[in-house]
Structure 1
Amino acid sequence: MPQPCSGKAAFTKIIRDKYKTIAALNKAWDKDIESWDAFAKGIDASFNTKVQQEDYSDLLYQYGVQYFSTVNKAMKSKMPNHLYLGSRLPLWGMPEEILKAAAENSDIITYNVYQEGIIPGKWEFLKELDKPSLVGEFSFGSDDAGHVHPDIVIAADQKDRGYKLKKYLESVIDNPYFVGAHMFQFSDGPIPGRAYDGENYNSGMVRVTDVPYEHMVEAAKDVHKNLYPRRYGYLQK
């Protein structure tokens, strides 16, 4: 016999512990569920009431807590002196419930931010989370380096890549909740394409032949030279 889904069983227990009776659940959700067994097997999950939506929100939060806390405990048991950096949340997949769970069970929250920078208005929620944040992935590419596809975020040419790199990193430095950014990746993707999906973006600091991109290197040097003065407002001696 197929084994019940662990997540579904956990969700059922949370809802059952809250409402006690199926009648109370039906009233809160405006449903007509026959029994808890019927609930566990599967129901019409469409929203009927605000209370139901709030319960779904709590289930998503509990799911996040279980994930991040499990990984955190396992990591701390084996590497107690290391930071747990979460799971690099993509911009399209970071609901507030998961952000809250990540903040409570990670040392640093990480995000993949494939845009032209950290737009202040889109990151106001960091004030409420009050947790260090890190960009886990970002990059820029152009079609003048011999690749079939430039990158997710496209630059006009290699000079523009350097300009975009500088502006991106400065936007990270200017946000007090971000503690760093990790560019994807050091070397361009292979010209024939990555083995498992064919990706071959112009996303590196160096070519596949290990030759540096001059404009990218100069941009990185400039940003790092001025990082502390820009962040903390003093001049280096």
Structure 2
Amino acid sequence: EVFTDDVALLDEVLGTGFDSFDRLLDYTGKLPDHLLIAEARSRFLSRYAERYFSVCHDAVKRADPNHMILGCRFAVAPPREVLETVKDYVDVVSINNYSLTAPTGILRHVYEVTGKPMMVTEFSFKAMDSGLPNTKGAGIPLKTQRERAEHCKRYIDTLLTLPFILGYHWFQYMDQPKEGRFDGENSNFGLVKIDDEPYRLLVETFKQINFNAEKTHLSKT
């Protein structure tokens, strides 16, 4: 589309001697910094996203037409082309985030492009006083359980100031084993230890936050 079937123009941009677009399958070089390449990449990304989200949307609706589609839980801030596509296929945009503070800039950007309500579908904090290695798994380790609880409260309090936020989901209920789970993660993500003993301060923090979450959200937005 971008090169309008002009193989000579493609050769000029890539510095190749192709006689057809099929020869692109043989190209292994680095793509040059060129406006036409950028446009081709953007259009490909849009079409790829359109195909992915339309297929997923239609499959879900065929099997379960009466429930909302809560997105795909983006792990990073998606490209604009993806956001402009996904808004037509989901009811909620979901994103996972393990930064020390709520990513308000990213969340506002996603909402401005999509106009869709949002959920943070993974966030967590881990601490070294748990006795776990914390060497594998997302996020930067904190020192103590008190810091975990404090960071958790600040993170959620910030989310609750955003009117388009529908909810948040902590990762996860139970700590990971010190030996590592199936992929090696060995971190203090739990509300409870692996033997089901609660981290009291964190649990109490969540009880207070969740009890007042709806009222807090309404008052701040």
Instruction: Answer whether TM exceeds 0.5 for this pair.
Output: yes
Q: Is the 8 A contact 1:205 1:217 kept in 2?
A: yes
The DSSP-based 3-state class of the residue aligned with 1:116 is: coil
Counterpart contact for 2:179–2:186, Cα < 8 Å = yes
Q: Is residue 221 of structure 1 aligned with residue 181 of structure 2?
A: no
Give CA deviations for 1:119-151 in whole Å, capped at 9, x if unaligned: 333433122221111112111011111211175
* Alpha-carbon distance, 1:181 to partner: 1.1
Distance 2:207 2:73 in 1: 26
Return the offset for 1:73. Answer: 0.8
Return the offset for 1:78: 0.6
Q: Is 1:190 matched up with 2:177?
A: yes
Q: Secondary structure at the match of 1:198?
A: coil
2:34 aligns to what?
49
> Structure 1 length normalisation: TM-score?
0.81
SS in 2 for 1:174: coil
The TM-score normalised by the length of structure 2 is: 0.86
User: 1:177 & 1:34 partners in 2: Cα distance?
Assistant: 52
Q: Structure 1 CA distance, aligned partners of 2:146 and 2:105?
A: 28
Match of 1:158 in 2: 145
Distance 1:73 1:110, change over 3 A: same
Tell me if the contact between 1:30 and 1:48 (Cα under 8 Å) persists in the aligned partners.
Answer: no
Please point out which of 50, 54, 74 is paired with 1:89.
74
Closer, same or farther in 2 for the Cα pair 1:44/1:200, shift >3 Å?
A: closer
Residue in structure 2 matched with residue 206 of structure 1 by the alignment: 192
In the TM superposition, 1:129-148 aligns within 5 A as 129-148=114-133
Return the offset for 1:178.
1.9
The one-letter amino acid paired with 1:73 is D
**TM-align CA RMSD:** 2.3
* More moved, 168-177 vs 37-46: 37-46
Bigger mean CA deviation after superposition, 176-185 or 101-110: 101-110
Contact preservation (8 Å) 2:84, 2:113? no
1:119 corresponding residue in structure 2:
103
> SS at 2:196's partner residue?
coil
Which AA in structure 2 matches 1:74? Answer: A
Amino-acid identity (%) = 29
Match of 1:179 in 2: 166
User: By how many angstroms is 1:85 displaced?
Assistant: 2.2
| 8 Å contact from structure 2 (residues 31, 37) kept in 1 | no
Residue equivalent to 2:44: 59
Q: How many pairs were matched up?
A: 216
Shift of 1:157: 0.8
- Runs of 5+ in structure 1 lacking a partner? 1-14
Q: Partner of 2:86 in structure 1?
A: 102
Structure 1 stretches of 4+ with a deviation exceeding 6 A read: none
For 1:175, the aligned partner's letter is: L
| Larger CA deviation: 36-45 vs 133-142 | 36-45
Partner secondary structure for residue 98 of structure 2: coil
CA contact (8 A) 1:139 1:153 kept: no
Correspondence for 2:20:
35
Letter of the 1:109 counterpart: V
1:169 aligns with 2:153: no
Shift in alpha-carbon separation, 1:198–1:26, aligned structure 2, 3 A:
closer
Provide the C-alpha distance between the structure 2 equivalents of 1:74 and 1:184, rounded to a whole number of angstroms: 27
Partner of 1:71: 56
* Alignment partner, residue 216 of structure 2: 230
Gap change, CA 1:182 and 1:21, over 3 Å in 2: same
